[in-house]
Chain A
Amino acid sequence: MAQADIQTVRTSKGQEIKVHTHLFINNEFVPGNGPLIETINPATEEVICSVHSADESDVNAAVKAAKTCFQSTWRKVSPSEKGRLINKLADLMERDKDEIAVLDALDNGKAFTVARDVDVTDSIACFRYFAGWADKIHGKTIDTTFDKLCYTRHEPLGVVGAVIPWNYPTMMAVWKFAPALAAGNTIVMKTSEITPLPLYKFAELVKEAGFPAGVVNIITGYGQTTGSYLGCHPDVSKMAFTGSTVTGRKIMESSASSNLKKLQLELGGKSAQIVCADADLASAATWACGGIFNNHGQSCNAGSRILVQEDVFDKFMELFIAETKKLVVGDPFDEDTFQGPQISKLQFDKIMNYIKIGQEEGAVLAHGGKRHGEKGYYIEPTILTHCKNNFRVMQEEIFGPVVAIATFKTIEEAIEMANDSEYGLAGGVYTSSLDTAITVSNEMQAGTVWVNCFDIFDQSTPFGGYKQSGFGKELGKYALQEYTQVKVVKIQRAGL
C-alpha cells in the first residue's frame, strides 16, 4: 500500500518539483499506516498527489520519538546551542525560500509572490526572533522568610503537540515550532491534510540543520482521527491548536478526558473595522480592503465586518469599491495575482451560500458575489452593505472574500456593535482623533486592535483572542509562557 516517498508534482506553469509524501518521524521519512490522502490543487481542482497519513500507531511512534529525544538528548542541549540550531534552520529556509513558497502556493492556492514575500519571509523572521530567546528564559529569586532561598525555574513542558490549519501552511507551523523549540520542548506537529506538502520540504531542512532525531516530528492526517489521537495522547504535555472554534472545543474536551494537557487555542474571528467620519478615508479604504481580502479572506483575524460612520458612508464606499476593483484574481503563479482560489470545494460552497444568505437577510450586494472563471475555487471579492449587526453574515465567520458592512451614528454605538460578537480576535479603528483612537482601542474586546492600519504583524507583539476566539498568545515574549511550566524550589537553611 505504500507509495514511494518522493513524488513529482507540477505547477500550472509547468515547473516540476519533487515532494516528500511520507511522515517525518525521528529524522526519517517513513510511510504511514493511515489511508493515502489526495491533496488537491485548488486552482485547477485536480489532484496534485497523494500523501501518507498517520494512524494511531504512527502517532504513538512520533510521540515516543519526541519523548525519548526530550528525555535523553534535547533537554541536555545548551540553550545557546538550541538558539544556534534554530538560526541555522532560518538560514536554510532563506536559501530554499522559493521552493517552499512554490509549495505553499501550489497546495494552498495563495499567490506565489505573497507566499514568498509574506508567508515564508515572516516565517524566517519568526525563527530568528525566537532563536534569540532560547538562552534568555529566566526564572526569578523571590525573598520570603530569612531562612529560605526560593527561586523559580521556567522549564520546558516536554512533548508538545500541535495541530495547524491550511490557511498559512508554513507560517502557522513556524509560529508553533519557534517558541516551542526555543523553550526547550520537542514537538509532534499534525499539518492539515489539505496542505501537507510545504512542511515536508521543511522537514528536510530540520535534518540538514542538525537537529537531533525526534526533536521535530511532522505528520498529517484527518482531524477526527490523527488529530484526535494526538489530542488524547497521555505523553503529550500540551496541545497548541489553530483552527475553527468547533474543533477547538473538541481539543479542549479531549484534554479533559485524557491527561489535562495544557492548551492553547487560536480560533475563529469576526473582527470589526470601524471607519470614523474623521478618518483619512482614502487610507482607510486601502487598509480595510487588505484587511478583509488578504489571503482571500481566509484569515482568522480578517476584518470581515466594516462599521462606517453614517456621514461618510457614500464617500467611503466609493473609495472602498474602487480599491476592491483593483484586486487581481487569478492563477497563483501569475506575477500580478493578488487573490487565488479558495482552498477547497467545501469552503467554496460554504462561502457562496453565505453570499446568498446575506442577501436573503436584507443585505445589498454592492460588488462581486459570483464565481470567478470556470475552473478552480475562485470567488470574486464580494461586498454586502446595509447589514444589521444581528445578520448571520455579521455574526458567523465566513472565511472567504466577503465583507459585511453596516453603519453607525456615534462611536459608542460602533464600539457596542463591534463587541456584540462571540468572537474577540482582533479589530481596527480609522480616525484622526487621538481620543477616539484611545477610547476605541481601550474598549474593544479583542486581542489585537489596529489603529489606522490592519493586518500588520510583528514577531515581537503578541497575538491571540478574547472570548471564543481562544486563549493563549503566539509571537512575542508572551508566547514563551505557553511553552514553559514554572517550578519553584524552596531551600531551607535552619530547622523547624
Chain B
Amino acid sequence: MSQFIVETDTPNGYKLKLQTGLFINNEFVAGSDSIDTINPATGKLIASVQAADKNDVHTAVKAAEAAFNGPWGKMSALDRAALMFKLADLIDRDNEELSQIETLDNGKGITFARLFDVKQIAISLRYFAGYADKVHGKVIDTEGALSYTRHEPIGVCGAIIPWNFPLMMLGWKLGPALATGNTCVVKTSELTPLSAYKVAQLVVEAGFPPGVVNIITGYGAVAGDALARHMDVHKIAFTGSTAVGRLIMKAAAESNLKKVTLELGGKSPNIIFDDCDLDQAVRWAHKGIFFNHGQTCCAGSRIYVQASIHDEFLKKFKEYTSQTKLGNPHDDDTFQGPQVSQTQFDRIMGFIDTGKKEGATCFMGGERWGNEGYFIEPTVFTNVKEDMSIVKDEIFGPVVTVSKFNGVEDVLSMALDTEYGLAAAVFTKDTARALDVSNRLKAGTVWVNCFNELDYNTPFGGFRQSGIGRENGEYALDNYIQVKTVKININRKP
C-alpha cells in the first residue's frame, strides 16, 4: 500500500502523503500506465499517479459485482447508512488535509475547498444515508391481483467525474448510488485524481466491505470508454462536456444499453431587469461567472442587462470585479486561483482572442495574470452580437459577455437561443415578472435574485443538450434504482 505514497509539501508548507495507486477492492494497486498530475498554480509536477486501462476497469467492475452479490447486497439499509455516516464523519475530521490536496491539484482557493467542496461531499453522504431505508415502492390497487412495485438497486454503477469540483462531484454520485444499495466504480479526471484517493483511504477506515467503492483514474478515451462499454455495468453517470456526453451515450448504445445520466455543459443567461436591487445583482452576477474561476457547468456566462441600467451595471460590475483577489490558491483570502491546466488556459485565451477578433470590446481583463501557472484575469466583453462564438460557445473560464436588452420578449428570445439549458437567472422585484420569466426559461435551474445557489436537496440537471437526469434531492434516487412490478394473482382467470 505504501509503495504508492508520494510525500510532498504545498507551497505554504503543509505536508502531504499522497496516495497514487488505483483503489480496487479496498486496496491500492498498480495500473497499467502512469499519468503526471500538475499543480496549476505553478505548472510543475505534483506526482505521477497510476492510470487504469481496460483490464484494470474490468478488475474494478468484477470487484464491485462481487461486493454487490455478496456482503453489500445482503446488508440492511441501516447498516449501509451507518457506513455512509461514518465516512462523512471521517471526511469532516480530515477536512484540512482534503482541502489542501484539492487546492493543490485543482487550483481553487483553499477557503472554498474548506467551506464548500469538502463540506459538500460529507453533506451529500449524510443526506443520502438518511434515504437508505426510505426507498419505497408502491402498492397499486388492481382488481383480483395484488400488485406492488419494488425500487431495486441496479448493481454495479459506473461514474465518470470531472476536474472542476473533484470531491463534490464524487459525493453527488456516491451518495445516491450507495444509499440505494448499488456498488460503484468511479473514474476520476486524470487532471485531479488526488483528493478522491484520500477519500478512498477513509472508505477503508470507515469499514466499507471491499469492492463497494472503487476509485480509479485514467484517460477518458481509455478508462472512461472501457467503463461506458462494460457489459456488467448497467448504469453510467457522466459529468463533463457535451461532446464527451455523446460518446458515452454512443458507447452505452453499442454495448449493453446501460442506463445513462448526463450532466453536461451550459451557457446560462443571467437576466437583470431595471427594477432589481442593482448592488445585489452585481454581487450575484460576479459570483455567477467568477466562482470557481468560471469552471462551472451552470456559470452565468451571458449577462443581459436592461438598457436603462446597463451602463451603471457595467460601472459597478467593473468596480466590484476589480477587487477580486487572484493569487496563490493556498492563501486564505484568494478568491480566484489558476485555471486547471495548460489546455484549458490555451482554450480560454483562444476564446478571448476570438472575441476581440470578432469585434467585441474587451471591457476589462483579457490577459494572462502573473508569470507562473494558468491564471487569467477576470474578463468582461461588451458590444457583443448574439451570434459571436463568445456568446454561443461554452468557454469554461472567467470570461463573461454583457449585452443590453429592452424588454421581456427581446431578452427571452436571446436567452433561449441556445442548445444548452442548464441554468438561468432573473433579477427583478416584480413577482409576476419573476414567475412569468422563470416559467418561460428553458433551464433545469432558474435562480431568482441569486445565482449559483446549489443545495444538496434540490434537483440539478439540464434541459436540452445540457443533459439527461437530475442529481441531488429525492429526484436523484430514481437514477440509481430500477422498478419491478410484481403481480400476485388472487382470483383472475386467464
A→B interface (CB under 8 Å): 140, 142, 144-145, 148, 150, 152-153, 237, 245, 248-250, 252-253, 255-257, 259-260, 262-263, 265, 267, 286-287, 289-290, 422, 437, 441-442, 444, 446-454, 456, 458, 460-464, 466-468, 470-471, 473, 476, 478, 481, 485-493, 495-496
Asked if A447 and B449 make an inter-chain contact with CB atoms under 8 angstroms apart, the answer reads no
Asked if A447 and B482 make an inter-chain contact with CB atoms under 8 angstroms apart, the answer reads yes
CB distance from A328 to the nearest CB of B (A): 16
Asked if B484 and A260 make an inter-chain contact with CB atoms under 8 angstroms apart, the answer reads no
Select which of B248, B254, B438, B464 is within 8 A of A489 by beta carbon: B438
Complexed CA–CA distance, A449 and B485 (Å): 6
Asked if B460 and A488 make an inter-chain contact with CB atoms under 8 angstroms apart, the answer reads yes
* Given the contacts A449-B487, A486-B444, A150 and B458 also touching, CB distance less than 8 Å: yes
B→A interface (CB under 8 Å): 140-142, 145, 147, 149-150, 234, 242, 245-250, 252-254, 256-257, 259, 262, 264, 277, 279-280, 283-284, 287, 419, 434, 438-439, 443-450, 453, 455, 457-461, 463-465, 467-468, 470, 473-475, 478, 482-489, 492, 494
Least CB separation from A446: chain B residue: B484
Which residues does chain B contribute within 8 Å of A144, judged by CB atoms? Answer: 455, 457-458
Complexed CA–CA distance, A202 and B492 (Å): 31
Which of B443, B465, B485 has the largest number of chain A CB atoms within 10 A?
B485
Which residues does chain B contribute within 8 Å of A458, judged by CB atoms? Answer: 140, 142, 145, 147, 487
Which residues does chain A contribute within 8 Å of B443, judged by CB atoms? Answer: 487
Asked if B444 and A485 make an inter-chain contact with CB atoms under 8 angstroms apart, the answer reads yes
Asked if A468 and B257 make an inter-chain contact with CB atoms under 8 angstroms apart, the answer reads yes
Asked if A265 and B257 make an inter-chain contact with CB atoms under 8 angstroms apart, the answer reads yes
Which residues does chain B contribute within 8 Å of A468, judged by CB atoms? Answer: 256-257
Least CB separation from A139: chain B residue: B459
Which residues does chain B contribute within 8 Å of A290, judged by CB atoms? Answer: 494
* Given the contacts A142-B457, A256-B249, A486-B475, A492 and B447 also touching, CB distance less than 8 Å: yes
Complexed CA–CA distance, A467 and B156 (Å): 12
Which residues does chain A contribute within 8 Å of B147, judged by CB atoms? Answer: 458, 460-461
Which residues does chain A contribute within 8 Å of B473, judged by CB atoms? Answer: 142
Asked if A486 and B484 make an inter-chain contact with CB atoms under 8 angstroms apart, the answer reads no
Complexed CA–CA distance, A471 and B256 (Å): 11
CB distance from B467 to the nearest CB of A (A): 7
Complexed CA–CA distance, A1 and B247 (Å): 42
Complexed CA–CA distance, A446 and B438 (Å): 40
Least CB separation from A464: chain B residue: B483
Asked if B264 and A260 make an inter-chain contact with CB atoms under 8 angstroms apart, the answer reads yes
Asked if A252 and B249 make an inter-chain contact with CB atoms under 8 angstroms apart, the answer reads yes
Asked if B249 and A260 make an inter-chain contact with CB atoms under 8 angstroms apart, the answer reads yes
Which residues does chain A contribute within 8 Å of B254, judged by CB atoms? Answer: 249, 253
Complexed CA–CA distance, A422 and B487 (Å): 23
Contacts A453-B487, A466-B484, A496-B283 supplied; 5 other A-B pairs, CB < 8 Å? A252-B249, A256-B250, A290-B494, A447-B484, A486-B475
Which residues does chain A contribute within 8 Å of B444, judged by CB atoms? Answer: 485-488
Complexed CA–CA distance, A30 and B347 (Å): 50
Complexed CA–CA distance, A245 and B150 (Å): 25
Asked if B461 and A453 make an inter-chain contact with CB atoms under 8 angstroms apart, the answer reads no
* Given the contacts A461-B140, A462-B485, A489-B448, A260 and B256 also touching, CB distance less than 8 Å: no
Asked if B246 and A260 make an inter-chain contact with CB atoms under 8 angstroms apart, the answer reads yes
Asked if B450 and A453 make an inter-chain contact with CB atoms under 8 angstroms apart, the answer reads no
List 16 A-B residue pairs with CB atoms under 8 Å apart, sorted by A's residue number.
A148-B453, A259-B464, A447-B485, A448-B484, A449-B486, A449-B487, A453-B488, A453-B494, A454-B494, A461-B142, A461-B147, A461-B485, A463-B485, A471-B257, A485-B444, A490-B447
Complexed CA–CA distance, A257 and B470 (Å): 21
SS class, residues of chain A in contact with chain B: mixed
Least CB separation from A283: chain B residue: B494
Which residues does chain B contribute within 8 Å of A448, judged by CB atoms? Answer: 484-487
Complexed CA–CA distance, A148 and B248 (Å): 36
Which residues does chain A contribute within 8 Å of B145, judged by CB atoms? Answer: 453, 456, 458
Least CB separation from B490: chain A residue: A452
Asked if B446 and A490 make an inter-chain contact with CB atoms under 8 angstroms apart, the answer reads yes
Which of B245, B256, B262 has the largest number of chain A CB atoms within 10 A?
B256
Select which of A253, A441, A470, A491 is within 8 A of B250 by beta carbon: A253
Asked if B445 and A490 make an inter-chain contact with CB atoms under 8 angstroms apart, the answer reads yes
Complexed CA–CA distance, A473 and B483 (Å): 8
CB distance from B228 to the nearest CB of A (A): 11
Which residues does chain B contribute within 8 Å of A471, judged by CB atoms? Answer: 257, 259
Asked if A148 and B457 make an inter-chain contact with CB atoms under 8 angstroms apart, the answer reads no
Asked if A256 and B247 make an inter-chain contact with CB atoms under 8 angstroms apart, the answer reads yes
Asked if A495 and B140 make an inter-chain contact with CB atoms under 8 angstroms apart, the answer reads no
* Given the contacts A461-B149, A471-B257, A486 and B485 also touching, CB distance less than 8 Å: no
Which residues does chain A contribute within 8 Å of B464, judged by CB atoms? Answer: 237, 259-260
Complexed CA–CA distance, A456 and B142 (Å): 11
CB distance from B229 to the nearest CB of A (A): 13
Complexed CA–CA distance, A290 and B494 (Å): 7
Asked if A152 and B459 make an inter-chain contact with CB atoms under 8 angstroms apart, the answer reads yes
CB distance from A265 to the nearest CB of B (A): 7
Which residues does chain B contribute within 8 Å of A248, judged by CB atoms? Answer: 257
Which residues does chain B contribute within 8 Å of A245, judged by CB atoms? Answer: 257
Complexed CA–CA distance, A464 and B257 (Å): 14
Which residues does chain B contribute within 8 Å of A253, judged by CB atoms? Answer: 249-250, 253-254
Which of A245, A255, A453 has the largest number of chain B CB atoms within 10 A?
A453
Select which of B439, B449, B488 is within 8 A of A491 by beta carbon: B449
* Given the contacts A249-B257, A257-B250, A490-B458, A286 and B494 also touching, CB distance less than 8 Å: yes
Which residues does chain A contribute within 8 Å of B234, judged by CB atoms? Answer: 467
* Given the contacts A456-B487, A460-B141, A462-B485, A490 and B448 also touching, CB distance less than 8 Å: yes
Asked if B249 and A441 make an inter-chain contact with CB atoms under 8 angstroms apart, the answer reads no
Asked if A451 and B487 make an inter-chain contact with CB atoms under 8 angstroms apart, the answer reads yes
* Given the contacts A490-B450, A496-B287, A451 and B486 also touching, CB distance less than 8 Å: yes
Least CB separation from B146: chain A residue: A451
Asked if B468 and A145 make an inter-chain contact with CB atoms under 8 angstroms apart, the answer reads no
Complexed CA–CA distance, A140 and B494 (Å): 41
CB distance from B437 to the nearest CB of A (A): 10
Asked if A495 and B277 make an inter-chain contact with CB atoms under 8 angstroms apart, the answer reads yes
Asked if A462 and B257 make an inter-chain contact with CB atoms under 8 angstroms apart, the answer reads no
Least CB separation from B277: chain A residue: A495
CB distance from A29 to the nearest CB of B (A): 32
Complexed CA–CA distance, A48 and B457 (Å): 57
CB distance from B300 to the nearest CB of A (A): 13
Select which of A148, A262, A444, A486 is within 8 A of B459 by beta carbon: A486
Instruction: Please provide the 7 A-B residue pairs with the shortest distance between their CB atoms, ordered closest to farther.
Output: A252-B253, A492-B450, A256-B249, A453-B489, A144-B455, A452-B489, A491-B448
Asked if B487 and A450 make an inter-chain contact with CB atoms under 8 angstroms apart, the answer reads yes
Which residues does chain A contribute within 8 Å of B279, judged by CB atoms? Answer: 495
Select which of B256, B484, B494 is within 8 A of A287 by beta carbon: B494
CB distance from B184 to the nearest CB of A (A): 19
CB distance from B245 to the nearest CB of A (A): 6
CB distance from A448 to the nearest CB of B (A): 5
Asked if B242 and A442 make an inter-chain contact with CB atoms under 8 angstroms apart, the answer reads no
Which residues does chain B contribute within 8 Å of A488, judged by CB atoms? Answer: 444-446, 458-460
Which residues does chain B contribute within 8 Å of A449, judged by CB atoms? Answer: 484-487
Complexed CA–CA distance, A375 and B483 (Å): 44
Asked if B453 and A492 make an inter-chain contact with CB atoms under 8 angstroms apart, the answer reads yes
Which residues does chain B contribute within 8 Å of A492, judged by CB atoms? Answer: 447-450, 453
Asked if A148 and B142 make an inter-chain contact with CB atoms under 8 angstroms apart, the answer reads no
CB distance from A248 to the nearest CB of B (A): 6
Least CB separation from A447: chain B residue: B484
Which residues does chain A contribute within 8 Å of B482, judged by CB atoms? Answer: 447, 466
Which residues does chain B contribute within 8 Å of A490, judged by CB atoms? Answer: 445-448, 450, 453, 455, 458
Asked if B463 and A487 make an inter-chain contact with CB atoms under 8 angstroms apart, the answer reads yes
* Given the contacts A142-B473, A144-B458, A259-B419, A252 and B453 also touching, CB distance less than 8 Å: no
Which residues does chain A contribute within 8 Å of B459, judged by CB atoms? Answer: 152, 486, 488
Complexed CA–CA distance, A249 and B448 (Å): 40
Which residues does chain A contribute within 8 Å of B468, judged by CB atoms? Answer: 260, 262-263
Asked if B455 and A442 make an inter-chain contact with CB atoms under 8 angstroms apart, the answer reads no
CB distance from A319 to the nearest CB of B (A): 13
CB distance from B484 to the nearest CB of A (A): 6
